[in-house]
Structure 1
Amino acid sequence: MSVQPAGAEPRERANGLNREEGPPLHAQIRDILHRQIVERPLLPGSPLPTEEELQKQFGVSRSVVRQALSGLSDLGLIRRQRGRGSVVAAAPVLRRHLQRAGGLDEQAAAHGQRLRTHVLSVEHAAPPEPAVNALNTTNTWKIERIRYLEDVPVAFMRTWVPRDLFPHFTKELLENASLLGLMREHGYHPAGGPRQVQAVAADADLAHKLSSNVREPLLLLQGVTRDALGHGLEWFNVWHSPNTVFDVDAQVTSQPGRLSEEHLRRLRNLTRQLESELADLERGAG
């Protein structure tokens, strides 16, 4: 019976793998490389070790290495090139317009991208105080979702919506569905509302959900969405991964500072009136 030297690693963990228990070897290798990519030792465009080098590094067969690389490719983390090996893929960039409320799927589609939504939970929960003021109720659904772009998590969304307006919401109904689209289907037409953006540091939970690092800066979008009559439909927090670009269409007025509050009030009222009339026309057409 051999005695292992003090302080030495167990043999099954010497190269980072546990051969005695745990996931299949290809999944362990995939996860090791995944962590190296996410934690930035492997930067976009940098080559991965060759299949032969990975075989020697982990002491496994080529088929196991190929399974691991295939898993990374399916996640959109690497690009496999025939005869040239694999390189780390650049993270897909999510672009959204700060002035537009909702329509994130349409904005991604305009850039040739497709978003996927996974619902983590839908539960009856009391909202925070700002949400109570915005929605005028404490009877709300708390909805948590992750949005994926090319299988890379780009946004974590925590939303509160009134249960009295949407008693039918379930996890299954919201999976891969547009929340604002479902509101429209049930007679409530989102018109917009105030938003604010700020940089925040990722805690351990957010870092896990967005495959980022703890304390890495994220963009937090907070706001409320109301219908044309001013009723609160949702109050939300959306944490965006660092590879998010917010587009803002800035305008220079010919008379800076001359736009009165009364003028703004009239424009808001006109917008709500138009939205209300459009909603009536859509209901009549249905």
Structure 2
Amino acid sequence: MNHLKSNDPKSMYFQSYDRVLNALWPTQFSSYFLETSYGNTYIIESGDLLSPPLLLLHGAKMSSTMWYPNVAEWSKQYRVICVDILGDKNKSNLEKQFSNRLSYATWLNELLESLQIDKTNIVGLSYGALHTVNFLTFFPHKVNKAVIMSPAATYIPLNREFYSYAMGLISNEVGVKNFLKWIFNDRHTVNSLIQQQLIDGMQWNTESSTQKVRQAFPYIFTDDELAQIQTQLLLLLGEKEVMYDPLEAFNRAKNSSPHITIEIIKGVGHLMSMEKPVQVNKRVLSFLNN
């Protein structure tokens, strides 16, 4: 058996991940891997197995641990299944490269089949929101309702400033702190354990973080693709969004799909689920339950 050294970058990242999960996760959970044709996917699950399923797809580099401010409320009514997106920085293990948008959607569909879930609700933020819309274009019959928060690209391109901060993010601890400062300004202070997980993740250079795995993303969906989405869809944009102009995204998304509802949340930025969890938790539940 191959044992990792305690100071190995991968081991240090996994330890940071586990510290967040064990210290901040507010409710009982189970965690496990599901095998797919693209690799083993790590899942954190909370809530009653008999409750309606709710799939959560995290932002890039954040992993499923980012949902700790939201899972307690949502798991009271739903079987919450947090997915570590294959190919991103988390505990999932990519074994076969994704080649296009369909391959990403196929991986997600394989997860639902393994879970024996015929239809689910999905909540995605940023990169996870991009995955959500992508999944809707290929497997719409698998989704009941979807909430997309601060979608990465999707409707309009990310601005140049994002790429400058993203390059700093991957370089060192200072880059991570500067990135978080840019995202939140002075509105919110990230939990120190979450910050350390990000730092350790950036210091763990994995093959899955190379450009190869991102052949399909970021992606701007065409008018025709968006018009064909029949799913009930809630798009939440932050008033203080810095990755792109939220008003421009609002105008592009407006009437783009037959059953889309769009709201700009006052006083929050890109990571709104962490910044104002009480407000976001309530809005998501009201949409899913009505």
**Fold shared, TM-score > 0.5 on shorter chain:** no
TM-score bucket of the superposed structures, by smaller chain: under 0.3
From the two aligned structures, give the one with the greater strand fraction.
1
From the two aligned structures, give the one with the greater helix fraction.
2
TM-score normalised according to structure 2 size: 0.24
